[in-house]
Amino acid sequence: MQTGPFHHLSTLNYQPWSTVPSWKPGSTYFDLELLALGLVMSESFESFVHDRYELLKDRLQSVSSFLWSHPELSGEEYRAHDLLSAILEGAGFDVTRQYLGFPTAFRADHESTTGGPRICIVCEYDALPDVGHACGHNLIAEAGIGAALVIKEYLENNPKPGKITVLGCPAEEKGSYKVLMIEKGAFKGLDLVMQVHPHSSSDGKFFFVKLRASLIGKIGFLAEFTGKPAHAAGAPWEGHNALDAVVATYQALSMLRQQMHPTCRIHAIIPHGGTSANVIPEFASIEVIVRAPTLPHLKTITEKAENCARAAAISSNTVLKILKPSPSLLPLKSNGVLAGLYQRYAEDMGTEFVDITGRGTRFEASSDIGSVSWELPTIQPGFHIDSEGPNHSREFTVASGCESAQPPTIRASKAMALTALNIINNPPLVDSMWQEMKK
């Protein structure tokens, strides 16, 4: 019978984690298995990490499987918050639940002695509407928890100053909570941030696995038009059609795309287009997202997109209100020094990065981790899972819950742990990362 800190997860029906057996601080679990393996602390940390994951991988998979089976939308990740917090508490971390007032955010800290590198691992765990974990955030959480547990154990058994922090960051898909957490000081006092992210690479159709992800900046806005209702058949000339303004905006955005750089993107939906076909719509709205790889491009295209809405309001004789309900996202600035360390370990385990080899297809996306990278040295390397569709597809949902996703997830988690332990054993690397950051 499998035992250990996570054995209850595979069959557990959700309940408050205060009633669930947890991994108690000071447990002899690791010590006994360490003796059984015949490990000694004088061995290299590389061997230590690989051996620890052999013991942890089944338990880590149970974490991922639980999250995959219980997908929760952005800002509603209560089960994930309770589960991940309980695991880290049981492992002896100092855990703050509902961190900074966010109901589903958490922070976990462990420090051996003061003065060493302060390393942060980020976990994401929100899912998407209708398609569940179609971006593999269950695997991101698994990889982050695994790396944190191994780093902590190393610090406990080796006289090296250092600190490992896990930040549970909810609402990446909708809400961009990392930006809000930056504003509240969540990343202050840390030296670097690491997070990994799954992508698809099946039969060469989709191959997006990059060491230095091409996450571009994003600004979203909602354009609301208010007109004047009237009978659509009896007296349409009395009305001011808000839906016409939305349609005109959408068409103008389509024309704007012709003059955009190939690396930039605009997409839009119409969340409200009226209430009845026989009434001239008094209110209508269009949600617009602008993406670009540089801040100047992002600012310029956003201004042009907003002007499309302003022109539509004038032509339709409606009143325009532009809202920005979500934070803007900055492009990711992957730290070269940190990425190079990760690359060494990932490639040793067989990972191939398309931005290194030159193979593959460019994949444009945005994430709030990009904004973090403007605050301190950050990386978000990709890792592949076998999927018949790209991220945000139903095929990717299936893939993120499959057994075949486990080996690449464990390799990515190991690479983070190895990178962190390299830094802990070579503290001047932190200075090199910050020197690059300030250029």
Q: Give the pLDDT confidence of 353-374 residue by residue, as tens digits.
A: 877 655 555 567 899 999 999 9
Residue 38 has pLDDT above 90, yes or no: no
Angle among Cα 150, 126, 81 to the nearest 5 degrees reads 55
Over residues 122-152, the pLDDT tens digits come to: 999 999 999 999 999 999 999 999 999 999 9
pLDDT at 367: 93
pLDDT at 263: 87
pLDDT at 209: 76
Q: Say how far apart CA 183 and CA 181 lie, in whole Å.
A: 5
Residue (of 389, 369, 323, 382) closest to 171 by Cα position: 369
pLDDT at 23: 33
Confidence class for position 241, pLDDT limits 50, 70, 90: very high
Q: Which helix (H) or strand (E) holds 288?
A: strand 283-292
Longest dimension (CA), the chain: 88
Minimum mean pLDDT among 45-49, 304-308, 311-315, 386-390: which range? 386-390
Contacts of 193 (CB under 8 A, 6+ apart): 120, 121, 122, 187, 369, 372, 373, 376, 377, 378, 379
Residue 264 has pLDDT above 70, yes or no: yes
pLDDT at 80: 98
What is the reported pTM?
0.83
106, 95 in Cβ contact below 8 A?
A: yes
pLDDT at 114: 82
Once rounded to an integer, what is the mean pLDDT over residues 32-53? 61
pLDDT at 361: 52
Once rounded to an integer, what is the mean pLDDT over residues 340-350? 94
Residue 298 has pLDDT above 60, yes or no: yes
Count of C-beta atoms within a 10 Å radius of residue 42: 6
Once rounded to an integer, what is the mean pLDDT over residues 225-237? 96
Q: Say how far apart CA 10 and CA 12 lie, in whole Å.
A: 6
pLDDT at 200: 83
212, 379 in Cβ contact below 8 A?
A: yes
Half-sphere exposure of 111 (CA within 13 A, CB side): 8
Once rounded to an integer, what is the mean pLDDT over residues 4-19? 36
Once rounded to an integer, what is the mean pLDDT over residues 365-388? 94
Once rounded to an integer, what is the mean pLDDT over residues 73-90? 97
Q: Say how far apart CA 63 and CA 67 lie, in whole Å.
A: 6
Q: Say how far apart CA 216 and CA 260 lie, in whole Å.
A: 15
The pair of three-digit structure tokens given for residue 218, joined into one six-digit string = 């994003």
Once rounded to an integer, what is the mean pLDDT over residues 275-286? 97
Once rounded to an integer, what is the mean pLDDT over residues 10-25? 33
Q: Say how far apart CA 174 and CA 431 lie, in whole Å.
A: 34
Residue 27 has pLDDT above 70, yes or no: no
Once rounded to an integer, what is the mean pLDDT over residues 102-114? 95
Q: Say how far apart CA 173 and CA 366 lie, in whole Å.
A: 10
Once rounded to an integer, what is the mean pLDDT over residues 45-55? 94
Confidence class for position 4, pLDDT limits 50, 70, 90: very low
Residue 28 has pLDDT above 90, yes or no: no
Residue 2 has pLDDT above 50, yes or no: no
Angle among Cα 169, 172, 174 to the nearest 5 degrees reads 135
pLDDT at 228: 97
Catalogue all structural domains in the chain, each as residue range(s) with its CATH number.
17-214+332-437 (3.40.630.10), 217-323 (3.30.70.360)
Residue 344 has pLDDT above 90, yes or no: yes
Task: Please give the residue that has the higher pLDDT: either 271 or 9.
Answer: 271
Q: Could you tell me which residues are beta bridge partners of residue 119? A: 164, 192
Once rounded to an integer, what is the mean pLDDT over residues 340-358? 85
